[in-house]
Amino acid sequence: MNALISLNDVCKSFGGIVVADHISIDIHRGEILGLIGPNGAGKTSLFNLISGVYPVDAGTISVAGQSLDGLALHRRARLGVARTWQNMRLFATMSVLENMLVAPRDYPGEKISHIIFRPKQVAAASQLLRERAMVILGRMKLEAIAHANVNDITFGQQKLVGLARALMNDGDCLLLDEPMAGVEGVAYDTMKTIVREEAAAGRAVCVVEHNVSFIKDLCNSAVFMASGKILERGSVDTLLSSKTLADLYFGA
Ligand SMILES: Nc1ncnc2c1ncn2[C@@H]1O[C@H](COP(=O)(O)OP(=O)(O)O)[C@@H](O)[C@H]1O
Ligand SMILES: [Mg+2]
């Protein structure tokens, strides 16, 4: 079966810093791939390259066989690349629901001409989006805080809202950048459940995470990166028992 997300020999440098050094990764539907490595390894940069924050220097990235080369962030989002951000990027003055309604893909209200000439269609689409947002919040047991300001909810809830917003995209590729960092208690379990459900629904999921038990519980396989290079890949157990990883990651 062909991979849904395919990175082929991807390279990227910023000045002298190599963040991606001939990276090739395939992620299939239903797979949860763990991406681990020390800070500065290039994990977030890889997500930035896939989602189109900046272009690759060399190599190709494709989704469902279509090359993403030259496509801007929003075009890639339309092709189903959904992601969360390590630092969440929620809009502080907005409610949970409003944060989820910011720029989901294919919303006709994006075009001013549609708002003027097709107001009914825009209103209906807007209603559907709200309903979809509430369903996602329901899965996270967060309906009760839909109208709360994002500043007034817990950190764990904010991280869930970051995921909820990514799910509004309804894309088949889900890139999660440290979803568990700082998350504990109920939010932790919810995060795990939702990520599992998304993979089971046929999405290709890639998770950057330092939380080893999360990776162990959820990932089929993992990739270990340092200094822009893939040093090891394979089953999570194999990876976690690797000496290279222990030396570089845990400083053992
Ligand atoms: N836009 C950028 N310009 C210059 N350097 C960057 C940029 N983005 C990331 N870097 C550098 O690339 C390296 C990898 O960063 P990053 O991908 O954020 O690592 P990780 O997510 O694995 O901690 C770091 O040294 C970082 O400072
Ligand atoms: Mg990072």
pLDDT digits (tens, 9 = 90+) for 52-78: 999 999 999 999 999 999 999 999 999
155 CB-near residues (< 8 Å, 6+ apart): 182, 183
What per-residue confidence (pLDDT) applies to 87? 82
CA 43 / ligand 2 centre spacing (Å): 5
Binding site membership of 55 for ligand 1 (Cβ less than 6 Å): no
- Please determine, for residue 250, whether its predicted confidence score (pLDDT) is greater than 60: yes
Residue nearest (by alpha carbon) to ligand 1 atom 3: 14
Q: What is the mean pLDDT of the segment spanning 107-129?
A: 73
Closest-CA residue, ligand 1 atom 16, reads: 42
Residue 123 main-chain phi, psi, to 5 deg: -65, -40
CATH number, residue 108: 3.40.50.300
Q: How confident is the model at residue 105 (pLDDT cuts 50, 70, 90)?
A: low
Question: How far apart (Å, rounded) are the C-alpha atoms in residues 71 and 69?
Answer: 6
Judge whether residue 168 has pLDDT over 60. Answer: yes
Question: 66-70, 99-103, 109-113, 122-126: lowest mean pLDDT where?
Answer: 109-113
Domain that holds residue 138: 5-249
DSSP the chain: ---SEEEEEEEEEETTEEEEEEEEEEE-TT-EEEEE--TTSSHHHHHHHHHTSS--SEEEEEETTEE-TT--HHHHHHTTEEE--TT----TTSBHHHHHTSS-TT-GGGSHHHHHH-HHHHHHHHHHHHHHHHHHHHHTT-GGGTTSBGGGS-HHHHHHHHHHHHHHT--SEEEEESTTTT--HHHHHHHHHHHHHHHHTT-EEEEE-S-HHHHHHH-SEEEEEETTEEEEEEEHHHHHT-HHHHHHHS--
pLDDT of residue 43: 97
Q: Give yes or no for a contact between 205 and 4, defined as CB atoms under 8 angstroms apart.
A: no
Ligand 1 binding pocket mutation candidate from 12, 13, 19, 210 (most atoms within 8 A of CB): 19
pLDDT at 156 over 80: yes
Q: Is the pLDDT of residue 193 over 90?
A: yes
User: Which pLDDT score is estimated for 241?
Assistant: 87
Ligand 1 neighbour 250 (Cβ under 6 A): no
Cα(45) to centroid of ligand 1, in Å? Answer: 6
Strand ranges of the sheet holding 221-226, from the earlier edge strand across to the other edge: 81-83, 173-177, 204-208, 32-36, 221-226, 229-235
Mean per-residue pLDDT, 134-155? 95
| 117 pLDDT higher than 60 | yes
* 122 vs 106 pLDDT, higher one: 122
Percent of the chain with pLDDT over 90: 73
The answer to whether the CB of 50 is under 6 A from ligand 1 is no
pLDDT band at 8 (very low <50, low <70, confident <90, very high): very high
**More confident site: 125 or 79:** 79
Number of domains composing the chain: 1
Asked whether 93 lines ligand 1 (CB < 6 A), one says: no
Predicted pLDDT of residue 1: 67
